[in-house]
Amino acid sequence: MREVWITDAAAVTPLGDSLNQLWQGLLAGQTGIGPVLRFPVDNYSAGIAACIEDLSSNGDRSMAHSLLERLIMQVDRVPPDSLLITATTKSGIDNLERRRLGIPADSCDVLLSRAAETISRRLGLIGESMNISAACASSTIAVAQGAAMIAAGRADVVMICCLDLVTEFVFSGFSCLGALSPTPCRPFDRSRSGLTLGEGAAALLLMSAARARREHRAHLGTILGWGAVNDASHITAPARNACGLIGAIHLALKKADCKARDIAAICAHGTGTVYNDLMELTAFNQVFGDHDIPVFSAKGAIGHTLGAAGGIEVALSLQALSNQLVPPTVGFDTPEKGAERSVSSSPADISGDCLLTTNSGFGGINAALILKKGHLP
């Protein structure tokens, strides 16, 4: 099995158009959550989300094009033969809304394949492409798929691009489910009352270590292990006993040839819903026992970015490993039982080379990745 490096990482979120802005904003405890101005919210259970400032459609094009352009501007030297894997749950679904309102809109932007077509054309890629749509674990599974292909020798370089938008279509759906919090979400807090939607995008360039060395690429981190398990419990709710997430973590640990004690920190899904956060704490306590590991969630600051969440969180995890520091969990104040010694509203120092990042989604999907600190020049 070949070693898989991450050689480039970029992100666009409500905290800024770069990964560094996101990282610094999180360390400072900033939040991008605010009133929704993009569409009327009077009839919904919440009126807030984490939207990217000045993100708008152009002509008949979806806002997704604007978001992808901001992302692609940050990515450097993408090899033309890269395999492209995109991850999104709803792509340019805002154009469906515009069509329903009688506003000119390109219907093809609604297709999940449109993001891949746009990115390939913009970057001049000649390789194949595919899209992963696996609910809120979409980009985590996309990274796992890319890493598996490189490790097995089926690809040398894989470009991962993920994105999702805050649209009325999505907002109304989560409102109907009763999943939205009327106030900014509070991951792992005893007083949490639901999630806050967000939007964003991330790009990760994966390479075999041999090719990365030949091309003198940066070594931001190594993908050591990955795992995905469906708990087959409920169409929207996670299994209360966390069997799916526990299974995914164990698979990732086995693939990485790591023990629980080797994990220095956990970048959790941490949506702020009652059942997700309890499920995650159950899983972490089951796998790691009394081994106290710092746990953080970015969603109190940037909202739940759906299919983009995993990719953004991988990029953040690389920053955490590089700086040996985990950011605070914004919105966290009074710990839920099981989070007392792990989650914090302040940054926390870590000591170790490996980090676990997890995501879970509708349909019972659970995914986990284990990252190792890179060796920067």
Q: Map out the domains of the chain with their CATH numbers.
A: 4-214 (3.40.47.10), 223-373 (3.40.47.10)
Which pLDDT score, from 0 to 100, does residue 377 have?
A: 60
Beta strands in 246-373 (DSSP E): 263-267, 295-296, 325-326, 348-349, 354-361, 365-373
Whether residue 338 is predicted with pLDDT greater than 70 in this model: the reply is yes
d(CA 197, CA 195): 6
Joined tokens for residue 150? 């490189």
Whether residue 246 is predicted with pLDDT greater than 90 in this model: the reply is yes
Q: Report the percentage of the chain scoring pLDDT > 70.
A: 99
Which pLDDT score, from 0 to 100, does residue 1 have?
A: 84
Q: 78-103 in b/e burial notation, b at 16+ Cβ within 10 A?
A: bbeebbbbbbbbbbbbbbbbbeeeee
Whether residue 260 is predicted with pLDDT greater than 70 in this model: the reply is yes
Per-residue pLDDT tens for 50-76?
Answer: 999 889 888 999 999 999 999 999 998
Whether residue 290 is predicted with pLDDT greater than 90 in this model: the reply is no
